[in-house]
A and B are shown apart, each in its own frame.
Chain A
Amino acid sequence: MVRLWGSLAEFAAGHHEVEVIATNLRELLDGLATAHPALKPQLERGVSVSIDGRIYNDTWATPINETSEVVLLSRLVGG
């Protein structure tokens, strides 16, 4: 189960939470794109993902289990 940020829900048929079967970050992102193709532009621009409160950017193999809290965020940058 993935939580989407408010304006992204518009591209997932209005749902703020969507179900995706995934065991890692790569499967999650691919699964989201397949289930909700309207999300593809944002996914291609890049997202950060919070898994159980820690932020991940690119590591595809990052494990996700059924009880993980997964939240999609805009791609974060620093300075």
Chain B
Amino acid sequence: MTKVEYTPREFKVVGTRPLRPDGIDKVTGRARYGADISAPGMLVGMVLRSPHAHARIKSIDTSAAEALPGVKAVVTRADFTHQPEDNATADILDNCMAGEKVLYDGHAVAAVAATSRNAAIAAVAAIKVDYDVLPHVMDVDDAMKLGAPVLLKGRKQETVPAEMSDNVLTRNQYGHGDPEEGFKQADLIIERTFKTAATHQGYIEPHACLATLGADGQGDMWVCTQGHYMVRNTCAAILGLDAGRLRVTASEIGGGFGGKTTVFLEPTALVLSRKSGRPVKMTMTRDEVFRASGPTASTSIDIKIGMTKDGKITAATGDYRYQNGAYEAMNGTLGAMTGFAPYDLEHVRTTGWDVVTNRPKAAAYRAPGAPMAAFAVESVIDELAGELGLDPIDVRLKNAAREGTRAAYGPTYPAIGLEATLEAAKAHPHWSAPLGKNQGRGVACGFWFNFGGDTCVSLMINPDGTVSLSEGNPDIGGSRASMSMMAAEELGVPMEQVRTIVADTASLGQNEVTDGSRVTFAVGLATIKAARHAIEIMKERAAMTWGIDVDAVEWVDGAAQPAGPNAGKFPPMSIGEIAAIAANTGGPIAGHHEVNAEGAGVSFGTHIADTEVDPETGAVKILRYTVFQDAGKAVHPSYVEGQFQGGAVQGIGWALNEEYVYGEDGRLQNPGFLDYRIPVASDLPMIDPVILEIPNPGHPYGVRGVGETGIVPPLATVANAVSRAAGIRLTSLPMSPPKVLAALKGG
């Protein structure tokens, strides 16, 4: 019933590795990122942030700040006069500028715009805020108890039991069958609790924007973001502006990973600009990025799995408790849906809880909610395999979901690539390579949904026959190259003849954010269809020129030609030749496509890691790492490999080093790259990527999203490797040296 888009074919451009079109700008420093722009008369914007984790704001006195030299505007929540209509937008506004309460250390309370950075610093310091400090709660399990300090009343959904704290906002349960019956059939049942600390996406470029907003509601913004349409729409909704009068241009972006799929500074920058009558540039310091942008959830997860002695899972349950910072989010729900997704289970039940605490508002982090759930589930499966003396890959193959399996979260799977990744892993030399002393090998699987969403593409044929492609998704991984490749493939021209740009919000219709691994799938689909549209027009022009029917014209190798000898003896007309007479044959030639792309294919990955644990220090070294993941069709294999490698290394950092450390006072103790330790080059070996291609029926070339799945297996892969190397099961992330040492000593 659902239309099959995919047709198998021989590719000429897709699947090759051309140089990226934005490459020279990026290796010479010419490319302009969020903070790399200025405007005449520009002011520096700066935020005053709460030093308390939880407090009521009694009063704010900005008079001294306003009187300082060079200070052109000071704003507080009182300057945001429009009331957003829905909870989600109201939450974003409250996060950008606190209202009655501050809810975390770093929560924005006021902002200034001044003629220099030093003037702004002085102004921020001169704002007097009177706080009534309240007790705070930081841990997810603590926040769920009745009697825990409550952040906000009245946001608990109807699915949450009344006897739980108001901090518990959602409860969702999934599954099928009867786990209690299933456990009775097991030869071995393992039940464990896992905890993971909050982490940050760690993009190297801090948030930055340059905003101009006039009293007439017309505005311009330059911003590093994963979604400039989202920025426009959200700012318009918060400030009560017409979206069409706010033009947002996406700069080059220095990393996002989900952390730039929302707004933090942007509404404030617009309000400061309107109030001062001048452009305002705002950038976050690294300290502010950690304290006040969007880290991921910390979790507390219970998993129980029963298995027969020959490795068949008879029942599985999971309770996934996630805290999302101070506002509502879905990470626990997503964790509960994804943890058991790789398996064919007769009896399964999972419950996801989303809870608020006095921490910054969580944003998405590459497959939000899934890595922690996979860590817990894959660790228990590994422990069961170990106890039963079974090969961990064979156990997964024995229980693997395949086409026709009913997923743990509900739907029945179409053709999927999980078994292919497991078989590839098993056959790979890494799986059978010898290991030395204090070394261990871990394997784990992961799953992610992938998305489509609103997409617009315009494809213009220029008078000289070159092609200009206009799309609306910020390029975070090389997507402009992939779009040029797909357009070139479809048109039958060299990739160099196509130039792709990311258009501003005034130039194209709505585009969903660059997230959900959607761009190569959805923007690629729209690009291909826009190209086909342009081809139809060019065929008509050729037909008109030859005086034959358009049905008698075909498009081959970048040119229109008569479709067979009966159509007439005309030499082919290339794009360039058709473009040269466009004005004579009807006017400029352009194809376009607008779609809410649905039907993205799910993807699976399997990772193998070898680790060595130092018994004296508890330090873990990654010796070898291999990623196996299904890409459907790799448009540009180097960029697909890059996604696998990048996701794996973020996962390695999450597993071994990275965590948010809060003091007793609820203040973040490590808001910098020295003490929030992401992996560096000397921590790692090469990361070997193995691309599998099981075509996605929903895309003309079979493309599946690849960006997110790569971060789902590594937490468990590394935990399994470390547990086997150390001879002891580790259940708390990160597995930093003091914790590994304590576990080795029997703590």
Asked whether the complex places CB atoms of A and B closer than 8 A, the reply is yes
Which residue on chain A has the smallest CB distance to residue B696?
Answer: A54
B118 CB–A CB distance under 8 Å: no
In contact, B174 and A5 (Cβ under 8 angstroms)? yes
A57 CB–B CB distance under 8 Å: yes
CA A62 to CA B452, docked complex, whole Å: 14
In contact, A78 and B364 (Cβ under 8 angstroms)? yes
- For chain A, the count of residues having a C-beta within 8 Å of the partner chain is 36
In contact, B517 and A56 (Cβ under 8 angstroms)? no
B598 CB–A CB distance under 8 Å: yes
In contact, A79 and B349 (Cβ under 8 angstroms)? no
In contact, B518 and A78 (Cβ under 8 angstroms)? yes
Most B Cβ at <10 Å: residue of A38, A59, A68: A59
Q: Is the interface of A mostly helix, strand, loop or mixed?
A: mixed
Out of A11, A56, A63, A72, which one reaches B158, CB within 8 Å? A11
CA A60 to CA B512, docked complex, whole Å: 17
CA A51 to CA B365, docked complex, whole Å: 27
In contact, B410 and A71 (Cβ under 8 angstroms)? yes
CA A42 to CA B596, docked complex, whole Å: 22
B504-528 interface with A by 8 A CB criterion: 515-518
Cβ contacts under 8 Å, A53 to chain B: 411-414
CA A3 to CA B406, docked complex, whole Å: 12
Q: How far is the CB of A75 from chain B (nearest CB, A)?
A: 7
In contact, A78 and B451 (Cβ under 8 angstroms)? yes
Q: A57-B453, A59-B598 are in contact. Are A10 and B410 (CB under 8 A)?
A: no
B89 CB–A CB distance under 8 Å: no
Cβ contacts under 8 Å, A79 to chain B: 257-259, 261, 363-368, 515-516, 708
Q: A59-B596, A79-B516 are in contact. Are A73 and B337 (CB under 8 A)?
A: yes
Q: A50-B411, A54-B599 are in contact. Are A74 and B698 (CB under 8 A)?
A: no
Q: A7-B173, A79-B515 are in contact. Are A56 and B1 (CB under 8 A)?
A: no
Out of A45, A54, A74, which one reaches B337, CB within 8 Å? A74
Q: How far is the CB of A3 from chain B (nearest CB, A)?
A: 6
Which residue on chain A has the smallest CB distance to residue B450?
Answer: A78
In contact, A5 and B173 (Cβ under 8 angstroms)? yes
Q: How far is the CB of B687 from chain A (nearest CB, A)?
A: 21
B2 CB–A CB distance under 8 Å: yes
Cβ contacts under 8 Å, A16 to chain B: 176
Write out, one digit per residue, whether chain B residues 409-421 have a CB within 8 A of any chain A CB (1) or not (0): 1111110000000
In contact, B172 and A58 (Cβ under 8 angstroms)? no
A52 CB–B CB distance under 8 Å: yes
B442-474 interface with A by 8 A CB criterion: 448-453
B323-345 interface with A by 8 A CB criterion: 330, 333-334, 337
Cβ contacts under 8 Å, A51 to chain B: 1-2
Out of A7, A65, A74, which one reaches B1, CB within 8 Å? A65
Most B Cβ at <10 Å: residue of A51, A54, A75: A54
Q: How far is the CB of A15 from chain B (nearest CB, A)?
A: 14
Cβ contacts under 8 Å, B365 to chain A: 79
Cβ contacts under 8 Å, B452 to chain A: 57
Q: How far is the CB of A60 from chain B (nearest CB, A)?
A: 10
5 A-B Cβ contacts within 8 A?
Answer: A52-B414, A53-B413, A54-B600, A55-B598, A73-B411
Closest 4 CB pairs of A and B: A79-B258, A79-B364, A78-B516, A50-B411
